[in-house]
Amino acid sequence: MEKFSVLYFVEPMMGLGSHYWAQVLAKALVKQYENVELTVLIDDLVPFSVVHDRINWIKLPVCRNQVTEHGSLNFKLIDESGHEVDERWKQARIDCVSNAFNTIKPNVVLLHNHLSGLEWDKLIEFEYKTLVDLAHLAPWEPPVLASSMDFIDGFENQSDTEAKEYLCKVKEEVDYILVCGASLDLFMQSCPLAAQFQDKLILAGYPVDSTPLLPLAEVQEPEVIVAAGGSELGNQLFRAAIEAFGLAQRSPNCLLGQHPWRLLVGPHLKAEMAALQAMAEAVTTATGTQGRLIVQPTVSSAEYAARLMHHCVASVSQCGQSTFVDLERTGVPALVVPYEANGMVQEQLYRAQFLHNSGRGVLLREQNLSASSLLAGLEQALAIGPKRIGVNLTGAEFVAKFIHDLALSNQHRSSSRHSRQIDTHLRARQPSGASQPHFTDTPYLYR
Same domain flag for 220 and 204:
no
Residues 45 and 149 reside in one and the same domain: yes
CA atoms of 374 and 194, how far apart (whole Å): 36
Owning domain of residue 339: 216-384
Judgement on whether residues 237 and 262 belong to the same structural domain of the protein: yes
Residue 81's pLDDT is what?
Answer: 74
Residues 95-139 pLDDT 10s: 999 999 999 999 999 998 766 655 666 777 888 889 999 999 999
Specify the number of domains making up the chain: 2
Q: What is the pTM of this model?
A: 0.84
Q: Mean pLDDT by 10-residue block, N- to C-terminus, for the chain (447 residues)?
A: 89 69 90 94 65 87 64 66 83 92 96 69 80 95 92 72 80 92 92 87 91 64 88 89 98 93 87 94 97 88 70 92 90 94 81 96 96 98 94 95 92 50 48 36 24
CA dist 107 and 140 (Å) reads 8
How many other CB atoms sit within 10 Å of the CB of residue 275? Answer: 16
For residues 20 and 40, membership in a common domain is answered with yes
- Does 115 fall in a domain? yes
Q: Tell me if residue 191 falls in helix, strand or coil.
A: coil
User: Which phi-psi region, left, alpha or beta, contains residue 15 (left: φ > 0; alpha: ψ -120 to 50)?
Assistant: left
Do 105 and 237 fall into the same domain? no
Contact 97, 41 (CB under 8 A): yes
pLDDT for res 196: 83
Quick: pLDDT tens for 394-428: 999 999 999 999 998 876 554 445 444 445 445 44
Q: Hey, is 378 helix, strand or coil?
A: helix
* Cβ–Cβ under 8 Å, residues 325 and 40: no
Kindly provide the b/e burial profile for residues 67-98, where b requires at least 16 CB atoms within 10 angstroms of the residue's own CB.
Answer: beeeebbebebbeeeeeebeeebbeebeebbe
- Which of these, 107, 101, 105, 165, lies nearest to 130 by C-alpha position? 101
Q: What is the largest CA-CA distance in the chain?
A: 73
Q: Do residue 229 and residue 371 come from a single domain?
A: yes
Q: What is the per-residue DSSP string for 35-91?
A: TEEEEEEE--SS------TTEEEEEPPP-EEEE-TTS-EEEEEE-TTSPBP-HHHHH
Rounded-to-integer distance, Cα 273 and Cα 279, Å: 10
Flag whether 432 is in a domain. no
Same domain, 133 and 169: yes
133 with 21, same domain: the answer is yes
* CA end-to-end span of the chain: 33
Any bridge partners for residue 23, and if so which? none
Shared domain check, 282 and 196: no
In a shared domain, residues 19 and 49: yes
Are 55 and 81 within one domain? yes
Q: What is the DSSP string of 131-180?
A: HHHHHHHSTT---EEEEEEEEEES---TT-HHHHHHHHHHHHH-SEEEE-
Torsion of CA 424, 430, 435, 437, to 10 degrees: 140
CATH number at residue 363: 3.40.50.2000
* 381 close to 361: Cβ distance less than 8 angstroms: yes
- Sign, Cα dihedral of 126, 121, 166, 168: positive
